[in-house]
Chains A and B, each alone.
Chain A
Amino acid sequence: MGPIDLQSVQKALDARVGKTQYVHLETTNGAYAAHREEGAMTVCAYIRNGRIEFERGTIVGDGPYRVGLKMQIGWVYAEGLTDYEVDEKGRLLMAGYDSEGRLAIALELSDEPFAM
C-alpha cells in the first residue's frame, strides 16, 4: 500500500462500473476508545462482503480523500482515505491510516468475496 494516486484510483473505480462487486467498508476508533478516555465513545461499523453494483465511482479531495459510489438506488461513501493498492488478486484496497499507523477507515472492492 502507498499514498493514494488520484488518477490511478479513479481508473480502478471506472473499471468496476456496472460489475458486481463485493465491498468491505469499515470505520473504527478502536475497541479501547472509551476505556482510554472517559467520556469518549467507542464506535465501529463494518460491512464485509456486501454485494453491490455502482454506475459511477468518484474519488475527490486533496488528501485525505473521499470516495463516493453511486448505485442505482443508493450510495456508498467513505471519507479520510490516505492509502491504496490494487493487490495481486486485482482488488482495490483503500484505507485511511492516522499518524500512528492505525487504520481509521477502509473501503475495499473485489470481484470475489473477501476471505472470512
Chain B
Amino acid sequence: MERHVLVVFPHPDDETFGTGGTIAKFTKAGVPVTYACGTLGQMGRNMGKPFFATRETLSEVREKELRAACEALGITDLRLLGLRDKTIEFEDREVIAEQLLTIIEELNPSLIITHYPGYAVHPDHNALGAACVRAVEKMPVAKRPVVYGHAFSRNREDHIGSPDVMIDIREVAEIKLEAVRAHRSQSENVIARFEEALKNPEAVAQFGPSMFTESFYTMRFA
C-alpha cells in the first residue's frame, strides 16, 4: 500500500485522461493523492461543443472543471503551480524542479506519477515531466520515491520498450468516466465514444485501451 501518491501534470484533465483510473483505485483504497497541476490550460483549443468558453474565460472554466474532476476521483489536495499553458519548456527547469522538490519534501510521497520526458507528445508534458524527474534526482538515493512515467508518443515502444506497470482499472471505469465528464470543455468531443466503449468492450480497440488499462514506465535514475 502506498503512503501518499503525488501526481504531477501540466494541464487540468491530464490527471483524468492518463491516470484517472489509477488515481481512483488509490483513493478508494484510502491512499491520499495530491495533484500538482502546472497550468490552468489557458491556451486549450477545445471549448465545448458547441463552445461555451472564450480565450479569456477558459482558465476559470477549466479550474472549475478540474475541481469537479478531483472530487470525482477522490483527490482532496490540489496544488496549482501557477505556470502558463504552452510555456513550461521555456521556463528555467531548475526553478520548477525546486518548486516540485519543496512539495515532495513536504508530502513525502512513496510514489510520484508524471509524464515520461520526451515521450508524452505535448511540450508542456515533456518539460514538466523532466522537471519532476530532475527534482527527484536532487534527492538522496535512499529517500527517493518510486516514479511512474506516463508515455504515449507514437515512437515510445521503439525507443523505450513496453511499459512495465499495467493497472487494470475496470472496477473504477465509471469513476473515470465521471471525471472525464467533469472536464466538459475538453471532453464533449470524445464523450460519446467514451460512453460507447464503456458499454461495449469490443469498441475498446477502436477507442483505445485507456478505458480499462493504464500503463506506466518505472523511471530509472542515474
Contacts and interface: CB of A to CB of B under 8 A. Distances in A.
Contacts of A106: 55
Contacts of A76: none
A30 B50 CA distance: 17
Given A24-B55, A114-B56, A101 B121 contact: no
B45 A102 contact: yes
A82 B81 CA distance: 34
Interface string B117-134: 000011110000000000
A116 B56 CA distance: 10
A102 B55 contact: no
B122 A91 contact: no
B154 interface: yes
A35 B86 contact: no
A111 B121 CA distance: 37
Interface string B164-185: 0000000000000000000000
Contact of B47 (A35, A93, A97, A108): A97
A67 B214 CA distance: 46
B56 A28 contact: no
Interface string B87-131: 000000000000000000000000000000000011110000000
Contacts of B43: 26, 28, 44, 46
A31 to B, nearest CB: 5
Contacts of B123: 31
A103 to B, nearest CB: 5
A7 B44 CA distance: 29
Interface residues of A, number: 28
A38 to B, nearest CB: 8
A69 interface: no
Given A24-B55, A28-B43, A87-B56, A100 B121 contact: no
A81 interface: no
B20 to A, nearest CB: 18
Q: Which 6 A-B pairs have the closest CB atoms?
A: A101-B51, A101-B49, A31-B122, A102-B45, A30-B45, A106-B55
8 contacts: A26-B55, A31-B86, A32-B122, A46-B86, A93-B56, A101-B47, A101-B188, A102-B47
Given A101-B47, A108-B55, 17 more contacts: A1-B51, A28-B45, A31-B86, A44-B43, A83-B51, A87-B56, A95-B54, A97-B51, A101-B46, A101-B51, A102-B45, A102-B47, A102-B189, A103-B47, A104-B45, A114-B56, A116-B84
Interface of B: 43-51, 54-56, 59, 84, 86, 121-124, 153-154, 188-189
